[in-house]
Amino acid sequence: MSVRARIASTVRPEVQQIARYHVPDARGLVKLDAMENPYPLPPALGRELADAITHAKINRYPDADASLARAALRNALALPEGVDILLGNGSDELIQIIASTVAHPGGAVVAPEPSFVMYRRTALIANAPFVPVDLRADFSLDVDAMAAAIERHAPSLVFIANPNNPTGNLFAREDLERLIRAAPGLVVVDEAYYAYADASFLPHVLEFPNVVVLRTVSKIGMAGLRLGYVVGHPDWIAEFDKLRPPYNVGALVQEALPVLLRHHEVFDAQAAAIRHERARLSAALRELDLDVFPSQANFVLVRVPDALAAHAALRAARILVKNLDGTHALLGNCLRITVGTPDENDALLDALADHLKGSMK
């Protein structure tokens, strides 16, 4: 029997049908496709990091509880009294751990769409039905439709990215609370983009028996570390901890995190610069007569006349953005542009203006 035949008879059919998560090759390109912070570490902080890592005991397994890294997060983030936190290899891993803990064939996963693609994928991993509920055309939550889906499917798990990826908007708190009250299971409020938003649900996490808040350091300047955290009632955290691989946060990351968070002001200043550039970029895109959606994240969603052509023109100018056309009915001809440095944003605006001028001829 060939390998192909053995795979066909062995691998779960729903896994055979999907492709792996695709990460485009960005070598040599201005990378505005993945919501990274464009600013590198200041050299002095890099040296401090190198010093800290020198002491890592890499012959030993890391601290399974990641105590120092967790304490550093608690200090840096002024977490509410009474919560506990669990760390993951990126919030991607925590999404899988949480879904594996609560979702199952009889306990669906509900999420708005368009939203972060891993919610759908993680339902598949947990062998749970996935129930998407379309956002309204202005990308606000369709609370009635969500509430109806919750009543009909009694899901184990509801994911809400807030601000939402890829639309960039922040949902109203009263909408979130209505869904949380309606949900019979757990609601994960995913705040990957909290640093760029005007509001957070974190202070309210213990006001409900069924909410946890998910975060990551990826979007604030540490995507390479791979570190996410979930904040919530200690009893929820203890359940997730049962399915966490024991050494999921490596020794180098555990050494690095306290050093980096001690200099949180560096990342705060970068986030402020990115918010400033977000406003400038959005205004300049509007000047190009494009539909620009209001963003509370470090990216901007924009509708262009022809997304495929605009994406290709930018690619030819060595700029990589995300083309969302075809991924959801609400995202026709939409590009998602991560806010870069002022120079990168200027390069993007120039290339896009050239393309639009050319295509009007």
Binding residues vs ligand PMP (CB under 6 A): 35, 90-92, 116, 161, 165, 190, 192, 216, 218, 223, 228
Which CB, 90 or 112, lies closer to ligand PMP? 90
Which CB, 34 or 349, lies closer to ligand PMP? 34
- Which residue of the chain is nearest ligand PMP when measured via CB? 90
Sheet strand arrangement including 130-134: 84-88, 228-232, 211-216, 186-190, 157-161, 109-113, 130-134
Helices (H), the chain: 3-10, 13-16, 43-54, 67-77, 90-102, 118-125, 143-153, 173-182, 234-242, 251-262, 264-287, 307-316, 342-360
Q: How far is the CB of 17 from ligand PMP (least distance, A)?
A: 23
Task: Tell me which residue has tokens 């695709």.
Answer: 22
Which CB, 161 or 324, lies closer to ligand PMP? 161
Q: How far is the CB of 87 from ligand PMP (least distance, A)?
A: 11
38: phi then psi, degrees, rounded to nearest 5: -80, -10
Q: How far is the CB of 203 from ligand PMP (least distance, A)?
A: 20
**Angle (nearest 5°) at CA 120 between 114 and 124:** 165
Q: How far is the CB of 93 from ligand PMP (least distance, A)?
A: 7
Q: How far is the CB of 55 from ligand PMP (least distance, A)?
A: 26
Q: How far is the CB of 295 from ligand PMP (least distance, A)?
A: 13
Which CB, 73 or 351, lies closer to ligand PMP? 73
DSSP letter at 343 equals H
Which CB, 119 or 236, lies closer to ligand PMP? 119
Q: Which two tokens stand for residue 349?
A: 């605006």
Which CB, 228 or 232, lies closer to ligand PMP? 228
Which CB, 91 or 345, lies closer to ligand PMP? 91
CA–CA separation, 133 and 310 (whole Å): 29
- Does residue 154 come out as left (phi exceeding 0), alpha (psi in the -120 to 50 range) or beta? left
Q: How far is the CB of 244 from ligand PMP (least distance, A)?
A: 15
* Neighbour tally for 220: CB within 10 Å: 24
The residues near 75 (Cβ < 8 Å, ≥ 6 apart) are 261
